[in-house]
């Protein structure tokens, strides 16, 4: 089950966080996402050194913990997407597809002329779309 998805901006500023775990643990997820940012930097710089063809947007598993796993995806514009899941057996391809759809939704919401770049995303339509993407995860 997907516990939480989040978007972090270029300056590591939180842009969006949505929890699916139920209950009041948004703060915990903010903490998890914040912890993953160092791994983002590390992975991106390693990939840059080792070669160009490995510079994929999908960064794979960032770090595992006892009861959840954190996956990451970084775009060309250094916007970071984070997925926290409680499933321990997941196919990389599924996660990659999920991130691509999530990214597409993000592109559409930021193309709104009333959206201010670098500000938190508050669009209810975006929230619904993310919900749909999350609920259809793994069923493709």
Partner 1 sequence: MRAGSREVAESCLDGITMEMVATYCDRLHSSKPDLAARRIEAIGFQVGQQLAERYTRDRPRFTDHLEVIKFICKDFWAEVFKKQIDNLKTNHRGVFVLQDTRFRWLTRISVDSPLTPSEANNTTLAAAQAGGKYLYFPCGLIRGALTNLGVPCAVSAEIAALPACSFIIRIKV
Tell me if 50 sits within 8 A of 44, measured CB to CB: no
Which pair of structure tokens corresponds to residue 84?
């926290």
The yes or no reply on residue 103 touching partner 1 (CB under 8 A) is: yes
In this complex, which beta carbon is closest to partner 1, that of residue 23 or of residue 117?
117
Q: Is 39 in the site for partner 1 (CB under 8 A)?
A: no
Candidate segments 20-28, 46-54, 80-88, 90-98, binder of partner 1 by CB under 8 A: 46-54
Q: For residues 59 and 78, what is the distance between their CA atoms, to the nearest angstrom?
A: 12
User: CA–CA separation, 16 vs 3, rounded Å?
Assistant: 14
Per CB under 8 A, the segment of 16-24, 31-39, 104-112, 130-138 that binds partner 1 is: 104-112
Beta bridge pairs of residue 60: 72
User: Shortest gap between Cβ of 48 and partner 1 (angstroms)?
Assistant: 6
User: What residues between 49 and 88 interact with partner 1 by CB under 8 A?
Assistant: 52-53, 55-57, 74-79
Contacts of 73 (CB under 8 A, 6+ apart): 57, 58, 59, 80, 81, 82, 83, 96, 99, 102, 103
Interface positions with partner 1 (CB under 8 A): 10, 44, 47-48, 52-53, 55-57, 74-79, 100, 103-104, 106-107, 110-111, 113, 117
């Amino acid at each position: 089950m997907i516990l939480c998805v989040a978007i972090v901006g270029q300056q590591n500023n939180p842009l969006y966080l949505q929890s699916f775990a139920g209950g009041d643990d948004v703060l915990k997820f903010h903490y998890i996402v914040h912890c993953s940012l160092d791994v983002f930097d590390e992975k991106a710089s390693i990939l840059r050194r080792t070669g160009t063809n490995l510079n994929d947007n999908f960064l794979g598993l960032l770090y595992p913990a006892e009861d959840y796993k954190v996956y990451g995806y970084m775009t060309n514009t250094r916007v970071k997407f984070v997925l926290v899941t409680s499933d321990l057996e997941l196919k990389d391809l599924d996660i990659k597809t999920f991130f691509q759809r999530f990214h597409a939704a993000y592109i559409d919401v930021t193309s709104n002329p009333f959206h201010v770049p670098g500000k938190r995303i508050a669009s209810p339509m975006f929230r619904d779309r993310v919900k749909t993407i999350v609920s259809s995860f793994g069923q493709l």
